[in-house]
Chain A
């Protein structure tokens, strides 16, 4: 079973320590415990929602706000560029979800 590391008790996301397959169950370790079913496939290092996070609510990791939810994020969902936005950096929302590559400078590659 893959594991997801919860850093702080107040966190509503945990970091996958191995790649997780869609619908697989992962073990939560660190400051949390229990199991959670992944609603999406997600690579190691990425974040899974530990509980439902409402649109506009803060996403908490390290016990600290790392941005806000752009939409309702169900428990077990992949939390990344498509549903979590920085409170500071507007550009990150335009990056490619999988590779992180910029999409706003594509017109320069001619």
Chain B
């Protein structure tokens, strides 16, 4: 078994952050440019795509995309616009260049259509990829250099028994090693207000957690939607409180340092809660997280170089930018979907492993993926992404990404 001294070689960015992949990111700025962006990335190694579907811009979506564009796993960016939309690919390229990364941009209308744009895009991607492969400084990394996010989805009765607690055991190891652990889904903390506040590392953190909890409860009440779905009920979960307890088990047992928002990085080592619930806004933008993929994007935007996804019932999704590692507490799900699932925490329920052993084994898997071993979703080229309209009040400049 790998031990926690495990180290590997990563990629040093000009801003001092360290990545576990060295990617070119293609970003489209409106749905109309989506096909061209994907055509550019098709068959290109180490080239991922994200984009925003709307023609009208949204500060939250811009912050999210800029955080992803300057993610530690990203070395260079190509921004592609159609030419009519509000979000400006040139501005994205400027911000990315200011972070010390390479960036290019163009409008499809100015290039003369699809084929010319795809050809130009492929040239730019190839040139930047060659450059970051040749020029990026390689550095040793350990768990202390890692930010790992955890999301759960498709939860069943095993998620709270084995899947999430095994991540909790790993998070304790990660925090003790000096790393950063992030969990989110405050809408899946409903019913746990006192448990949550009791975990605060400081009075300030306690206040942040209380505010985030109260906002989540208000929000769920106002939209009449709690974070449980038909599959959860069929899997044996009956109430949001029950699901919350299972979801909260992924946090492990260490103190919570505070609350961050989407596109904000943790302000120091340790365990953090990510608040992805919309703030009050006259447009009442949508749901807190319409699907698992949006939650994963939020965790990546906070700088997670790797994300763990716990799913009792099984899921096939992956993610761009940061490798996704899929954990299930249900051994039957693992066997049925072994091609897609990375880690079988159900062995804890059969007595094959203790929870502490599961946490250490998961730490070993995270270190191997960080060292370059592809996770199952990476191997299958799963790179689902989801960036939608939402409103969150702009975070403080020192912590945000619009500086």
Contacts and interface: CB of A to CB of B under 8 A. Distances in A.
B234 interface: yes
B245 A64 contact: yes
B239 A45 contact: no
Contacts of B269: none
B235 A66 contact: no
A91 B226 contact: yes
A86 B238 CA distance: 8
Given A64-B241, A88-B239, A100-B229, 17 more contacts: A7-B160, A44-B157, A44-B332, A45-B312, A61-B242, A62-B160, A62-B245, A64-B191, A64-B192, A64-B195, A65-B241, A80-B233, A85-B239, A88-B217, A92-B226, A95-B230, A100-B233
A60 B235 CA distance: 18
Complex A-B, nearest 4 residue pairs according to Cβ-Cβ distance, in ascending order? A100-B233, A45-B157, A45-B236, A86-B239
B349 A67 contact: no
Interface string B95-137: 0000000000000000000000000000000000000000000
A80 B161 contact: no
A4 B220 CA distance: 32
Interface residues of A, number: 35
Question: Which one of B161, B249, B312 has the greatest number of beta carbons of chain A within 10 Å?
Answer: B161
A5 B349 contact: yes
Contacts of A16: 157, 236
B45 to A, nearest CB: 41
A25 B160 CA distance: 24
A16 B158 CA distance: 9
Interface string B215-258: 00100110011101111111111111110011001000000000
Contact of A86 (B224, B235, B240): B240
Nearest to B246: A62
Given A64-B195, A67-B239, A86 B234 contact: no
A66 B236 CA distance: 13
A50 interface: no
A54 to B, nearest CB: 17
Contact of A81 (B156, B160, B226, B233): B233
B160 to A, nearest CB: 7
A3 B191 CA distance: 28
Nearest to A86: B239
Interface of B: 156-158, 160-161, 190-192, 195, 217, 220-221, 224-226, 228-242, 245-246, 249, 312, 330, 332, 349
Given A64-B195, A80-B238, A91-B226, A17 B349 contact: yes
B169 to A, nearest CB: 15
Nearest to A62: B245
Contacts of A46: 157, 236
Contact of A66 (B191, B220, B232): B191
Interface in A30-71: 43-47, 61-62, 64-67
Contacts of B161: 5, 7, 15
Interface of A: 5, 7, 15-17, 43-47, 61-62, 64-67, 79-81, 84-92, 95-96, 98-102
A99 B239 contact: no
19 contacts: A15-B158, A15-B161, A15-B236, A17-B349, A45-B235, A62-B249, A66-B241, A66-B242, A80-B233, A81-B238, A85-B239, A88-B190, A88-B217, A88-B241, A89-B239, A91-B224, A92-B228, A92-B239, A99-B233
Contacts of B349: 5, 17
Contact of B239 (A7, A66, A96): A66
B251 to A, nearest CB: 13
Contacts of B239: 66-67, 84-89, 92
A67 B242 contact: yes
Contact of A47 (B192, B230, B236, B312): B236
Contacts of A95: 230, 233
A66 B230 CA distance: 18
Contacts of B232: 100
A34 B155 CA distance: 28
A87 B244 CA distance: 13
A101 B217 CA distance: 23
B245 A61 contact: yes
A42 to B, nearest CB: 8
